[in-house]
Chain A
C-alpha cells in the first residue's frame, strides 16, 4: 500500500446512506484524510479519477450490467471493501427476492417494466472477492473510521463474530424478550454497540446473521416467547433475505 493510498467510493443498488455516514464524520474525516487521498466520493466532491488503491463499495448487485462494473472495480482496486448491508449481505433489497420477478418489476417500474433488467438482489461478495466488510444499515461511522485506520496500519478489520446480545448486555439494556418484544439480536452479528436497542427499539438484524448463529434455536426461542411464525418471518426477511432461502 502506498504511503497515501487513493480511495474511491462506488455505489450500486442502495440509498447512499453509508456514504452519508462517512460524510457525517465531519472534522474526524479531515484527520483521516491526512492519511489518504480521496479520488472519488459523490457525497463530498464532484471531481473523480479512476486510479485507486482502496474501493469502498455500497449497494447490492441487482442487474446484469452491475456485474461487469463491479468486476472492473475489483480489478483496479488492491483492496475492495463492502460497506453497508446492501453490499455486505444484500440488505433490504433482498426483500424482492421473496416475490416473483414480474410482480416486483411491475410494482417498481409499472408499464415500463420491460425496459428494465433486474434480477434477485445479491451482496457484492456473490460476484467478486471482497476483502473486508463494514456491516450495518447504515454503517456505524465510528466503525468505518476504525476499519480505515486498521487498513492504514496494514491490518484488515474484522467485526465481532458474536451476536448483538453481547453489546446489548454491555450497554445495560433490559432484554426486549423480557418486555415481550421480538428482537433479532440473538442471531445478528454485533459491532454496532446494540444501538437500536439502546435507543428503545429492537434489533432488526441489519448486520446480518452472525457466523455461528443457531437459527434453529432462534426459531424455538421466538416460538416459546409466544411469537407466531409470521411475526418471526417479517423480522427475519427484512435483512436476512439473502442468507436464508427458506424464510
Chain B
C-alpha cells in the first residue's frame, strides 16, 4: 500500500492545481446541518467532518435529466449525445463509494450504458474517512464501512492538520504530486489512520441491523407473501418516490422526447424515475404490474434486500440513511423493516 501524508495548507494548493484541469466538487455545509457537494472555487469551506451529503452523488454520473440523442425531423437523422465533463469528487465517504461501485457493475451488465460510462471514466474519486455518522445511517452493518477499490485516493484525517492519503490508482498518485514531491507516510501515521477508522466504526455501529446482512435475501424472501405486513407498513405511503430518488444505488430512468420550437429538431432525454411511482410499472394498454402502493413498497425492499443480491452478491442498500430522512411518512427505513422481519421470523421458530 502506497500512502502519503498531506498537511492541511497543502490541500489548498493542490485544489487550485486540480481546479485548472477539471471541475472539482467538495462537501460543504449548505444550511445548518445539511451538506452537499458543491464546486470548489477557493471560497467554499470544505466540511471535512460532514456526516452525509444530502443529495446522492449518482447525479454526477446519471444526472436527473440528460440528453442522450438529438434528432432532425426534416432529415430523419439522429446522433447520440454523450457528455462527460472531467470532474473530481473530493471527499466521498466509503459507503457512497460502494454505491458507485455497485452502479458501475449494474450499468455494465447486459447493455452497457455508454452515457454513464463516459461520465464515470472522466471522474476521479477521492475518498474521505468519515468522522461523524448521520443519525439515520447504518452503513457499518451493510458491509459498507470500508472499500477496497473505487477510489483514486483515500484520505483520512489523522490530526487537525494532517491527512493520511492512501493511493488507489496511478492517476490519483499523479494528482497528489502535481505540485511537487510529497511526504511518504510513516508506520505511525498509518496506525493513526487505522485508529481513526475504528473510532468512526464504533460510532456507526450504534445503528445497525440486528443480524448479519448476508441473511437479508432469505429473510425478505420468506416475507414476500406476508401481505398483512406490507399493507400495514405502506398505509401512509404517498407514492412520492423520494426514497428511491435519493438512493445512491437506484438507477431507474424514463426516456422522453421533445421537439424544438420550429418543430425541426428534437432531443431524446432520460430522466430519473423509480419503482415507487405508480406509473413506473404501467405498460401500453394501461396494465400495471404493481398497481397498488403496498406492492410497490414491497418491491423496493425486495430490490434492496434480494434482487440486487441475486445479481451481484451484495445488498442493494449500503445503509446511507438518505431514504430514512427523505420519506416524510417515515416508512422507508430499510434497517427498521429488515430488523422487524428478522424479529418476526426469529420468534416463529
List residues of chain A with CB under 8 Å of any chain B CB: 28, 31-32, 34-35, 145-146, 149, 152-153, 160-163, 165-166, 169-172, 174-175, 177-179, 185-187, 212-214, 216-218, 220-221, 224-225
A212, B239: Cβ atoms under 8 Å? Answer: yes
B65, A172: Cβ atoms under 8 Å? Answer: no
B241, A31: Cβ atoms under 8 Å? Answer: no
Which of B20-28, B146-154, B222-230, B321-329 contacts the other chain?
B321-329
Bound complex: CA A146 to CA B245 (Å):
25
A63 CB, min distance to chain B CBs, angstroms: 37
Bound complex: CA A170 to CA B235 (Å):
25
A218, B245: Cβ atoms under 8 Å? Answer: no
Q: Which of A153, A172, A178, A214 contacts B259 (CB 8 A)?
A: A153
B328, A162: Cβ atoms under 8 Å? Answer: no
A163, B330: Cβ atoms under 8 Å? Answer: no
Residue B34 CB within 8 A of the other chain? yes
Q: Which of B236, B245, B262, B272 contacts A217 (CB 8 A)?
A: B236
> Which B residues lie within 8 Å of A177 (CB)?
328
15 interchain pairs, CB-CB under 8 A:
A35-B263, A153-B259, A160-B279, A162-B240, A162-B277, A163-B238, A163-B240, A165-B241, A166-B277, A169-B326, A170-B64, A170-B245, A179-B31, A213-B238, A214-B238
B59, A31: Cβ atoms under 8 Å? Answer: no
Given contacts A28-B261, A170-B65, are A225 and B279 in contact (CB under 8 A)?
Answer: no
Additional pairs, 9, CB under 8 Å, beyond known A162-B278, A169-B241, A212-B278: A153-B263, A163-B240, A163-B241, A165-B238, A170-B245, A175-B325, A175-B326, A214-B239, A217-B237
B36, A172: Cβ atoms under 8 Å? Answer: yes
B237, A170: Cβ atoms under 8 Å? Answer: no
**Residues 291-331 of chain B: 1 if any A CB is under 8 Å from the residue's CB, otherwise 0?**
00100000000000000000000000000000001101110
A23 CB, min distance to chain B CBs, angstroms: 15
Bound complex: CA A152 to CA B258 (Å):
12
> Which B residues lie within 8 Å of A169 (CB)?
64, 241-242, 245-246, 272, 326
B294 CB, min distance to chain A CBs, angstroms: 12
Tell me whether chain A's interface is mostly helix, strand or loop, or mixed.
helix
Bound complex: CA A186 to CA B261 (Å):
32
Q: Which of B34, B64, B236, B242 contacts A214 (CB 8 A)?
A: B236
List residues of chain B with CB under 8 Å of any chain A CB: 30-31, 34, 36, 54-55, 59, 64-65, 235-242, 245-246, 258-263, 271-272, 274, 277-279, 293, 325-326, 328-330
Chain B residue nearest to A185 (CB atoms) is: B240
Total A-B residue pairs with C-beta atoms closer than 8 Å?
99
> Which B residues lie within 8 Å of A35 (CB)?
263
A32, B261: Cβ atoms under 8 Å? Answer: yes
Q: Which of A165, A178, A185, A214 contacts B237 (CB 8 A)?
A: A214
B215 CB, min distance to chain A CBs, angstroms: 31
Bound complex: CA A195 to CA B173 (Å):
43
A166, B240: Cβ atoms under 8 Å? Answer: yes
A162, B245: Cβ atoms under 8 Å? Answer: no
Bound complex: CA A212 to CA B246 (Å):
21
B241, A162: Cβ atoms under 8 Å? Answer: yes
> Which A residues lie within 8 Å of B64 (CB)?
169-172
> Which B residues lie within 8 Å of A217 (CB)?
235-238, 329
Given contacts A149-B258, A172-B55, are A225 and B328 in contact (CB under 8 A)?
Answer: yes
Bound complex: CA A162 to CA B239 (Å):
8
Given contacts A146-B258, A217-B329, are A166 and B238 in contact (CB under 8 A)?
Answer: no
Given contacts A32-B261, A149-B259, A217-B235, are A174 and B277 in contact (CB under 8 A)?
Answer: no
A93 CB, min distance to chain B CBs, angstroms: 27
> Which B residues lie within 8 Å of A31 (CB)?
260-262
